């Protein structure tokens, strides 16, 4: 073998040993147009003010430490400037596009997984994950695995029809850690020919605030309980949605002199549906603070929020700030506050921002 052949062979072997590089796009709109079925990973970071973002950028981008989990993805760096000058505004608009980022990105830095329809399918933004590169890598790998599993089920559903299609889409909706895209639900372009007898449409169109508001129009506690139990008996709703229904009922009873034993049983039922979820933690905190009247400092749940401070506000008393993982006391994270439930308010914090709403940076000045 001559030297040239030997050199080419060594280069080929080296290339085979390297992990496949993620496709990096300069802008979010470009990524959307070229993604196909590949997940898009948006690295959103505070570009000119946030020390956590600065460290993440160094490790995620400059040192390529996320590369092993980005092999089948499209990667986009999304700088977010605080008080941007004109040049920085132009840069952000060029990267983000006029349509804006998907709703649900509550803090920076974060790793948002989006599909080619611009749907946020999942996000890594918890403080204990995003501030450590190995934790971020593990969380992103888990999210991308769930994305692949869900996409596989959706693809199978596209080729099926009738009840089989509905069952496959429901299985896709049940994949934990990832959101089913709207176009796979009721009226979506990916479910033509579906016969929905599994409750997928109800799951996709569920609005907890509408449920809560409907209870305000009812004349008695018994009527409210009958309404909520009717919803709970229907198929399709997720565990989180069922917990929100129970929160609405418990909150109504608290506002309207319901029995303490009944309220305790509702929060217990809510907790036991999914003890490890945000609403499971909320239910335990509600039992401690509002039913059993335990000291707040000793019993406040510690897993309610994503990154920073969360507030449970009781309209009969002061708000309680819990789980502060930040370096300062800025309260700018989602708020759990409708007076008595874990569902937020229609116009207030705690709701998912729309594309044209400003995103929240919960790690500012760390």
156-190 pLDDT, tens per residue? 998 898 889 999 999 999 999 999 998 875 556 66
pLDDT at 195: 84
Q: Which residues pair with 310 in a beta bridge?
A: 322
Residue among 167, 124, 121 nearest 148 (CA): 121
- HSE-CB at 49 with a 13 A cutoff on CA atoms is 12
> How far is 11 from 17, CA to CA, in rounded Å?
10
Laid out side by side, the sheet with 74-80 consists of 23-25, 74-80, 40-46, 110-114, 120-124
For residue 159, the tally of other CB atoms under 10 A from its CB is 9
∠ CA(74), CA(8), CA(5), 5° rounding? 165
Cα–Cα nearest to 248, from 173, 340, 160 = 340
- Cβ neighbors of 338 (< 8 A, separation 6 or more) are 209, 212, 251, 344, 345
Q: For position 233, what pLDDT does the model report? A: 97
The answer to whether the Cα torsion of 293, 294, 296, 300 is positive or negative is: negative
Per-residue DSSP letter, 61: I
Q: What is the pTM of this model?
A: 0.69
Q: Which secondary-structure segment (H or E) carries 215?
A: helix 208-216
Query: Nearest Cα to 102, choosing from 189, 36, 181?
Result: 181
How many helices (H) and strands (E) in the chain? 14, 8
Q: What's the pLDDT at 78?
A: 97
Radius of gyration, CA atoms only, the chain: 23
Rounded Cα–Cα distance for residues 118 and 106 (Å): 16
Q: Which residues of the chain have pLDDT under 50?
A: 4-20, 299-366
Give, as one character, the DSSP assignment of residue 48: T
pLDDT given at position 106:
84
* Phi (first) and psi of residue 347, to 5 degrees: -105, -10
Q: What is the 3-state secondary structure (H, E, C) of 131-178?
A: CCHHHHHHHHHHHHHHHHHHHHHHHHHHHCCHHHHHHHHHHHHHCCCC
Determine the pLDDT at residue 303: 37
**Distance of alpha carbon 141 from alpha carbon 148, whole angstroms:** 11
């Amino acid at each position: 073998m001559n030297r040239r052949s030997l050199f080419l062979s060594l280069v080929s072997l080296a290339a085979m040993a390297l992990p496949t590089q993620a496709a990096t796009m300069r802008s979010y709109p470009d990524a959307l147009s070229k993604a196909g079925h590949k997940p898009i990973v948006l690295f959103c970071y505070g570009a000119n003010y946030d020390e956590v973002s600065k460290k993440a950028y160094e490790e995620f981008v400059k040192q390529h430490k996320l590369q092993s989990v980005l092999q089948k993805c499209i990667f986009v760096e999304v700088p977010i400037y605080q008080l941007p000058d004109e040049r920085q505004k132009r840069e952000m608009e060029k990267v983000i596009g006029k349509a804006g980022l998907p709703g649900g990105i509550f803090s920076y830095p974060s790793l948002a997984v989006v599909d080619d329809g611009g749907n946020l399918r999942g996000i890594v933004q918890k403080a204990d994950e995003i501030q450590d590169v190995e934790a971020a890598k593990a969380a992103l790998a888990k999210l991308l695995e769930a994305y692949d599993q869900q996409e596989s089920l959706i693809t199978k559903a596209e080729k099926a029809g009738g009840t089989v299609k509905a069952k496959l889409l429901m299985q896709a909706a049940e994949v934990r850690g990832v959101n089913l895209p709207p176009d796979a639900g009721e009226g979506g372009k990916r479910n033509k020919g579906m016969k929905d007898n599994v409750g997928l449409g109800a799951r996709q169109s569920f609005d907890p605030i509408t449920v809560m508001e409907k209870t305000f129009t009812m004349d008695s506690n018994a009527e409210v309980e009958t309404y909520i139990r009717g919803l709970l008996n229907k198929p399709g709703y997720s565990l989180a949605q069922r917990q929100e229904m129970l929160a609405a009922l418990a909150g109504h009873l608290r506002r309207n002199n319901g029995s303490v034993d009944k309220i305790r049983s509702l929060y217990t039922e809510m907790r036991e549906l999914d003890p490890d979820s945000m609403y499971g933690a909320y239910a335990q905190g509600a039992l401690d603070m509002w039913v059993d009247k335990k000291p707040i400092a000793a019993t406040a749940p510690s897993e309610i929020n994503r990154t920073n401070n969360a507030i449970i506000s009781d309209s009969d008393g002061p708000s309680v700030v819990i789980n502060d993982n930040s370096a300062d006391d800025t309260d700018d994270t989602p708020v759990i506050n409708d007076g008595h439930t874990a569902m937020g308010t229609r116009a207030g914090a705690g709701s998912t921002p729309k594309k044209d709403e400003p995103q929240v940076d919960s790690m500012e000045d760390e």
